Chain A
Amino acid sequence: MGMTVVEKILARAAGLPSVQVGDVVEPSVDLAMSHENAALVINQYLEVFSGTGQAPKVWDPSRIAIIFDHRVPAESPKTATNHKKIREFVTANGITKFHDVRGDVGGICHQVLPEYGYVRPGFVVVGTDSHTTSHGALGAFSFGVGATEMASAWALGIAVNIEVPATIKVVVKGKFAPMVGPKDLILHLIGQLTAQGANFKVLEFHGETIRNMSTSGRLAICNMSVEAGATSGIVPGDEETVRYLREEAGVTDAITCVQPDADATYVRTVEIDVSALDPQIACPHMVDNVKPIDQVIGTKVQQIVIGSCTNGRLDDLADAAAILRGKKVAEGTRMLVFPASSKIFGQALDRGYIHDLMKAGAVVMNSGCGPCLGVHEGALGDGETALSTTNRNFKGRMGNPTGFVYLCSPVVAAASAITGVITDPRKGA
């Protein structure tokens, strides 16, 4: 019987000729990623070894990645102390894929991993972050785990007791209209599937629209696959994957893309034609409360955010800069921009995007998660509304349970910054 991409990856990683949905397997882990919550992973990891008589030892330090992004620079002594504890662990254990709070190699984990070629097609990637689904953009099976599960992986080098998930095939055709793109596609899909429509399942993306999509766009759609509950999103590796890894990540060793079998079994197939798709907005307070933009045009916004592991990449900043060049952010609205990595920040500087955004009145912040998870760098005031290119709009998400968060693409965010209300970028500001 044929296998899906994830079934093939799991079979390889578990040393089995084949697997099928529901099988319980223990795949070897190719990459294990954590961020600030490594502080908890370390705690659980030491707990695992206590009483065993064995000295704590990570299975393979070269396969562990730790990236500081959630609270950078530290917003509190507590976070700073967590950072310190993690740095000491990194040094003691010889972990080389470590990205500290830095303006050269720092950034959001879900940009740093692809950017440095840490993820390859066919890999099994686990990360202590739900948006670890992002790395399916490079043809890997990549999923989020809790801190204790990561501690187990650090000790054993395997993901224990993984049930082979069923796969939903998503076939996307058509060419995006101007000012419509990958973010609108994934918001639309989440609206169709609902926030739990893909729970315990994989979304495998196919079709001409995906083939023609950049890795940046693929990262955005795989990133938000978890918002439909998916274990992972995945785009089978292709020419674009190889191009990205060679040209942008500087990978020189062999790259093997994994394709699904023609007779693979899917639990469901979803077909989407994007040619008539309008810009999409996820409205408060659920990610699946998705509406075409014309239903929310004119909604007043006090804060615009462009950035995050979903939409803080170079093309996102370029699109925003093109709209804001020579314009001004509306009075009464503040605009915050978070490049997804230091590398992207540098490229955006060189190309003048940062200048354009700042001249328009945007505050350009250091690379990191920023206000997306409501910790620092842009909390909402009581009853305020944000329009953001991030991935979640749960109540309280941007730091204030009385606030409202709308999710959109970078071009919608940029056009709305000029007017101070949700604005259709196709109609101009």
Chain B
Amino acid sequence: MAKVIIKLENDISTDDIYPGRFMATVLPTETPQYAFFDRTDFNAQLKAKAFPPNSIIVGGENFGCGSSREQACSTLKGHEVAIVAKSISRIFLQNSINLGLQVVICPGIEASEGDELDITPDHVVNKTTGKTFDQVKLPAARKGIMDAGGLIPYTRARLMARG
């Protein structure tokens, strides 16, 4: 079980998650400082490690739309948060799976900041309101990558298999 640390609107772009002016910073070890940089208070809380690991960001429709910048995923992965959103933009979803950022598609999700959510294999349970919401399972094509722990170990295994 984990707490919702922020509830965001629809169409959260990767520019919002990781502004373009920090794109020269690429290493996953360095990107976390710029997460949601222009949401000054939230950025400060993230940097101050105000939230325990696995805390949840709730998004609306089309979370992660826009640029393919992978920094938008590595910056969130660095803060060990999970994303629960009504729908997720294709490239952001793929990048999340590739990097092992936990993302959950939950079209009916109703949750407010401070609510406690339980993410089960098929559902998201809002313990605060007592409501249960269905998850949309991630595309089957991604399973191999998730099972390997991300695209780097997956590709490494494929390379090794080729010899």
| Complex interface bits, A228-270 against B, C-beta within 8 A gives 1, otherwise 0 | 0101000000000000000000000000000000000000000
Bound complex: CA A229 to CA B66 (Å): 8
CB of A151 within 8 A of CB of B24, answer: no
Residue on B nearest A57 in the bound complex, by CB: B159
CB of A130 within 8 A of CB of B66, answer: yes
Min distance, Cβ A7 to any Cβ of chain B, angstroms? 15
| From A49, A75, A82, A199, residue with most partner B Cβ within 10 Å | A199
CB of A394 within 8 A of CB of B13, answer: yes
Stretch at the interface among B51-59, B113-121, B125-133, B149-157: B149-157
Bound complex: CA A85 to CA B151 (Å): 23
**A375 interfacial by beta-carbon distance below 8 Å:** yes
Min distance, Cβ B30 to any Cβ of chain A, angstroms? 10
Q: Which residues of B contact A399 (CB under 8 A)?
A: 20-21
Stretch at the interface among A34-42, A173-181, A354-362: A34-42
Bound complex: CA A104 to CA B7 (Å): 48
B16, B62, B151: the one contacting A196 at CB < 8 Å is B62
B139, B142, B151: the one contacting A148 at CB < 8 Å is B151
CB of A24 within 8 A of CB of B66, answer: no
CB of B65 within 8 A of CB of A229, answer: yes
Bound complex: CA A163 to CA B26 (Å): 28
With contacts A40-B26, A148-B95, A196-B87 known, is A156 near B66, CB below 8 A?
no
Min distance, Cβ A228 to any Cβ of chain B, angstroms? 10
Min distance, Cβ B67 to any Cβ of chain A, angstroms? 5
A75, A145, A195, A401: the one contacting B65 at CB < 8 Å is A195
Min distance, Cβ B101 to any Cβ of chain A, angstroms? 11
With contacts A54-B159, A151-B155 known, is A37 near B26, CB below 8 A?
yes
Residue on B nearest A77 in the bound complex, by CB: B24
Instruction: State which residues 319-362 of A face B: CB under 8 Å.
Output: none
B62, B70, B159: the one contacting A52 at CB < 8 Å is B159
Q: Which residues of A contact B141 (CB under 8 A)?
A: 24, 161-163
Q: Which residues of A contact B150 (CB under 8 A)?
A: 148
CB of A373 within 8 A of CB of B67, answer: yes
**A382 interfacial by beta-carbon distance below 8 Å:** no
Instruction: State which residues 35-80 of A face B: CB under 8 Å.
Output: 36-37, 39-40, 43-44, 47-49, 51-52, 54, 70-71, 75-76, 78-79
With contacts A47-B152, A156-B158 known, is A37 near B69, CB below 8 A?
yes
Residue on B nearest A158 in the bound complex, by CB: B158
| Complex interface bits, A361-398 against B, C-beta within 8 A gives 1, otherwise 0 | 00000000000011100000000000000001011110
Bound complex: CA A66 to CA B139 (Å): 30
**A117 interfacial by beta-carbon distance below 8 Å:** no
Instruction: State which residues 21-43 of B face A: CB under 8 Å.
Output: 21, 23-27, 38
Instruction: State which residues 49-79 of B face A: CB under 8 Å.
Output: 61-62, 65-71, 73
With contacts A36-B23, A149-B151, A151-B152 known, is A374 near B68, CB below 8 A?
no
Bound complex: CA A374 to CA B20 (Å): 6
With contacts A129-B68, A199-B90, A392-B15 known, is A163 near B139, CB below 8 A?
yes
Q: Which residues of B contact A40 (CB under 8 A)?
A: 26-27, 70-71
**A146 interfacial by beta-carbon distance below 8 Å:** yes
Q: Which residues of A contact B38 (CB under 8 A)?
A: 395-396, 401
Q: Which residues of B contact A43 (CB under 8 A)?
A: 26-27
Residue on B nearest A128 in the bound complex, by CB: B68
Q: How many residues of B contact A (CB 8 A)?
A: 46
**B145 interfacial by beta-carbon distance below 8 Å:** yes
**B99 interfacial by beta-carbon distance below 8 Å:** yes
CB of B11 within 8 A of CB of A375, answer: no
Instruction: State which residues 124-181 of A face B: CB under 8 Å.
Output: 128-130, 132, 144-149, 151-152, 155-156, 160-163
Q: Which residues of A contact B89 (CB under 8 A)?
A: 196, 199, 229
A47, A54, A145, A374: the one contacting B91 at CB < 8 Å is A145
B87, B139, B145, B155: the one contacting A156 at CB < 8 Å is B155
CB of B156 within 8 A of CB of A195, answer: no
Min distance, Cβ B162 to any Cβ of chain A, angstroms? 8
Bound complex: CA A229 to CA B94 (Å): 13
**A286 interfacial by beta-carbon distance below 8 Å:** yes
**B98 interfacial by beta-carbon distance below 8 Å:** yes
With contacts A52-B160, A78-B24 known, is A146 near B152, CB below 8 A?
no
CB of A130 within 8 A of CB of B160, answer: no
A44, A78, A149: the one contacting B94 at CB < 8 Å is A149
Bound complex: CA A195 to CA B20 (Å): 20
Task: Give 6 A-B pairs besides A44-B152, A130-B67, A199-B87 with Cβ atoms closer than 8 angstroms.
Answer: A39-B26, A40-B27, A144-B91, A160-B158, A195-B62, A392-B15
Q: Give residues in B with beta carbon < 8 Å to A.
A: 11, 13, 15-16, 19-21, 23-27, 38, 61-62, 65-71, 73, 87, 89-91, 94-95, 98-99, 139-142, 144-145, 150-152, 154-156, 158-160
Q: Give residues in A with beta carbon < 8 Å to B.
A: 24, 36-37, 39-40, 43-44, 47-49, 51-52, 54, 70-71, 75-76, 78-79, 82, 128-130, 132, 144-149, 151-152, 155-156, 160-163, 195-196, 199-200, 229, 231, 286, 373-375, 392, 394-397, 399, 401
Top 8 nearest A-B pairs by Cβ distance? A373-B20, A40-B26, A146-B95, A196-B62, A401-B38, A146-B70, A394-B13, A152-B155
